[in-house]
Amino acid sequence: MNTGVRFTWNQLRIFDAVARLSSHTRAAVELHVVQPTISAQIKQLSTAVGMPLFEQIGKKIFLTPAGRELHATCAELFDCWSRFEMKVADIKGVKTGTLRVAIVTTAKYFIPRLLGPFCRLYPGVDVALEVVNRDQVIERLAANRDDLYIMGVPPDNLPTERHPFLENPLVVIAPRDHPLAGRRHIELSRLAKEPFIAREPGSGTRIAAEKFLAAHRIKPRNRMQLGNNEAVKWTVAAGLGIAVLSRHALMLEPMRDQLTILDVRGFPIRRSWYVVYPAGKRLSVVAQTFFDYLKQEAFTIQEELSGPPPRAGKKKPQ
């Protein structure tokens, strides 16, 4: 490496943007600079390294081996600097910085309601919230793209720290006028006769429900699979089948008058929500503050969760 040429922080920022976006043009737009500036800074950085950082194949650019190593180093440097800035702010008695959280879709029913008071407590904190399916959360977790991850079924194939902070009971829902609505202690085997509306493969809810039913030698008869809770609830309300969903998906639910929770033996399936992050990761001041806040304030959601479920009865006229 040519030690006579120094790196600059700006060069690393530009390189990181090009590496993430695989485009000089998009990097220029993101950083609000002209494209020749991007090209010039990348050229200077390549000279400093003594090896090309990108290679062009057709119209696309790709990182070289040296580029991949530098990109990983940039991620560590930016993370260290972010933690430094937050620690300095913490020493001053002020919580500032950016909190990056990725959550599975079902967690959207309660996490934003916890984020609101948190942001009022710490107005200097900016929150970047990603709401995606479980597979995408795991991808982000593997790449360490966020500070914290919230899911119901942490992955077994990644080394992680996982901390339960809130109950996540799974219940059986049916249309309000279903023949089983209002019955007590429905036998689990009875569910095998009902058409199921399932979440997509990879969903934490589906994984937990199928594991539970398989343990009792019950194979659900899936009529269809849908990619989000809203679609599942509407389909169940239309009388096309029953479903297993998190009780959280029914909180503040405008469709409560069209759905009911069936009293099935073995349900609810007792599970937890977890805060997850890569093993060995040092949480930033802001991330640790939010983690501690979650553990303290989750009881407010837990109290709502313990409220009365939707009751059985006739649907309201449409």
Q: How many domains does the chain have?
A: 3
Of 72, 89, 114, which marks where a domain is finished? Answer: 72
pLDDT band at 138 (very low <50, low <70, confident <90, very high): very high
247-296 confidence digits (pLDDT tens) = 888 876 566 678 899 999 999 998 899 999 999 888 888 888 899 999 88
Spatial distance between the Cα atoms of 127 and 118, rounded to a whole number of angstroms: 10
**Which helix (H) or strand (E) segment is 204 a member of?**
helix 204-215
Q: CA dist 238 to 106, 174, 231, 307, 315, Å?
A: 21, 10, 11, 25, 11
Q: List the beta bridge partners of residue 132.
A: 104
The enclosing domain of 185 has a CATH number of 3.40.190.10
pLDDT of 313 > 60? The answer is no
Distances (CA, A) of 19 to 15, 78, 133, 259: 6, 14, 25, 48
Residue 312 inside a domain? The answer is no
289 and 151, same structural domain? yes
- The verdict on 129 and 278 lying in the same domain is yes
Same domain assignment for residues 293 and 283: yes
Indicate if 207 and 228 belong to the same structural domain.
Answer: yes
* Band of pLDDT at residue 93, cut at 50, 70 and 90: low
Domain boundary among 39, 72, 105: 72
What is the Cα–Cα distance from 118 to 141, expressed in whole angstroms? Answer: 23
Residue 124 resides in a domain: yes
Does residue 171 surpass a pLDDT of 90? Answer: yes
Exposed, middle or buried, 91 (CB in 10 Å: 0-12/13-18/19+)? Answer: exposed
| Per-residue confidence (pLDDT) for residue 256, from 0 to 100 | 65
Q: Whole-number mean pLDDT of the chain?
A: 86
317 falls in which pLDDT band (50, 70, 90)?
Answer: very low
pLDDT for 304 beyond 70: no
